[in-house]
Amino acid sequence: MSEKTYKTMGGSGALNIVVGTVSIVTGIACGVLLIISGAKLLAERSKMII
């Protein structure tokens, strides 16, 4: 009975690590895209102001 519990806990732990890693990578990618977008807006600011 306890062996089944340990296998379940191991699978759950592995899933948590994978989901955490994917969340970190997604967050970093979104941050980089937002910084690039903001930099482009700042660069074109003088053309937008009348």
- The structural domains of the chain, with segments of one domain joined by +, span 2-48
Give the model confidence (pLDDT) of 1-50 as tens digits: 678 888 888 888 899 999 999 999 999 999 999 999 999 999 888 887 76
Element (H, E) at 6: helix 2-43
Q: Please give the structure tokens belonging to residue 33.
A: 């895209």
The most distant pair of C-alpha atoms in the chain lies apart, rounded to whole Å, by 74
Q: Please give the structure tokens belonging to residue 30.
A: 């979104």
Q: How far is CA 9 from CA 12, 32, 45, in A?
A: 5, 35, 53
pTM confidence score: 0.69
